A and B are shown apart, each in its own frame.
Chain A
Amino acid sequence: MSLLNYTLRIGDSSLILAQRLAEWCTNGPTLEEDIALTNISLDLFGQANGFLEYAATLDGVKTADDFAFKRNENQYYNFLITEIENGHFGDTIIRQFLFSAYLYLFFQKLATSKDEVLSALAAKSLKEIKYHLKHCSSWVIRLGDGTNESNEKIQSSINKIWEYTGELFELDQIEKDLVKKEIAVNREALKFEWDQIINTTLNQAKLMRPKDQVMKTGGSKGIHTKHLELLLKEMQFIPRKYPDAKW
């Protein structure tokens, strides 16, 4: 049961962020960025599908689609950073940068999990995340070390989103038990390397690292921001309204 919960946590974060990024489709600042953000979204949808398919196997009754389309917000376990609104392009880039740096380290460790399915999905996802991180880092540097206006805007993006990063490194009992079994990743231990990635890029981008403050938390318990409900309403609309609809 705890393995199912753990698998959903991983899949949910990818799924919700994928849905958020899909909102950029036809709204990107340039054609290339429109394609970039939606390609990243597509990778994350694919990754989410792998984890939710595994969750369905573990559950034995529900399908991956049931997990995606028939859960309410309090049954979703994604990190809060993945559900916050896109804001402007700089906000989206900062969110993607902070989260990709985390996922990059997370999947590296999960690839050595004793659970063979999780480790295979992680190794696969890692290849894609590396590319996302590279893309977002270059944008952070371009915008941070750009004009005064772009620097100010993206500095305020990072100041605003920072409070959602604490949760990435918090463990609860479910995860601690799975860490002992060498199935789950000890996310607390990823913080040091994450700090290094973030600090190096922010220095290069001439941006200030925000001071750690009171961090927002709750995703893994199903306690979310007001934004998730609206996102799910849109994502789940057709399967909820027309349960037998076929694609």
Chain B
Amino acid sequence: MQNGEIEHIWKLLNSVPDPEIPVISIVELGVVREIKKTDNYINILITPTYSGCPAVKTFTDDIKECLKMNGFSNFKIKLTYDPPWTTDWMSSQTKQKLLDYGISPPSNQTVCPQCKSTNSILVSEFGATACKSLYKCKDCLEPFEHFKCI
């Protein structure tokens, strides 16, 4: 029964979208690290993508809201830095979602989301969010964002 409940919560949180890239969930992003039940309390461990990621507050609020709406009231959300978040935690399905959404997924090889060309040039090492950089496709000339590998 308890395992079923934990599994249910993982599923619920998998429906909470990332506030900046709504096409993937906070579970797919790898921000939710652990869900455990001890002494009637559900403990949720989350980790920030980047130290200064402004979305951390939103993650926490969204998790709270999602759990409350689904009838959970006894839970605690804790922040951890260990192990540090890495883009390696994203599955290939998640990476495909990013590409379909228009973001070149984390990999040493950039892929233009428009024409799928790997022939591109770095425009800016820093993009609109801490986790992305800006490239331009040399074939179709469209600019695009690339999810940095860390």
> What is A's interface to B at a CB cutoff of 8 Å?
32, 35-36, 39-40, 42-47, 49-50, 116, 119-121, 123-125, 127-128, 131, 134-135
Contacts and interface: CB of A to CB of B under 8 A. Distances in A.
Contacts of B51: 43, 45-47, 49-50, 124-125, 128
A120 B81 contact: yes
A46 B148 contact: no
B126 interface: yes
B139 interface: no
B39 interface: no
Contacts of B81: 50, 120-121, 123-124
Contacts of A120: 80-82, 84
A45 B53 CA distance: 10
A70 to B, nearest CB: 22
Contacts of B75: none
Nearest to B150: A127
Contacts of B150: 127-128, 131
B84 A123 contact: yes
Residue of B54, B82, B148 most packed against chain A (CB within 10 A): B82
B84 A49 contact: no
B134 A49 contact: no
B84 A39 contact: no
Interface of B: 48, 50-54, 80-85, 123-128, 130, 134, 148, 150
B50 A128 contact: yes
The secondary-structure label for the interface of chain A is helix
Contacts of B127: 35
Nearest 10 CB-CB pairs, A to B? A46-B52, A46-B51, A120-B82, A32-B124, A42-B52, A124-B84, A36-B126, A39-B126, A120-B81, A124-B81
A21 to B, nearest CB: 11
A43 B50 contact: yes
A35 B124 CA distance: 9
A36 B48 CA distance: 20
A116 B83 CA distance: 11
Given A36-B124, A39-B126, A123 B82 contact: yes
Contacts of A35: 124, 126-128
B126 A47 contact: no
Nearest to B131: A39
Contacts of B123: 32
A110 to B, nearest CB: 13
B15 to A, nearest CB: 27
Contact of B130 (A42, A116, A119, A123): A42
Nearest to A34: B126
A131 B125 contact: yes
Contacts of B52: 42-47, 49
A128 B84 CA distance: 11
Nearest to B48: A46
A219 to B, nearest CB: 22
A44 B148 CA distance: 18
Given A50-B81, A120-B82, 5 more contacts: A50-B51, A120-B81, A127-B84, A128-B50, A131-B150
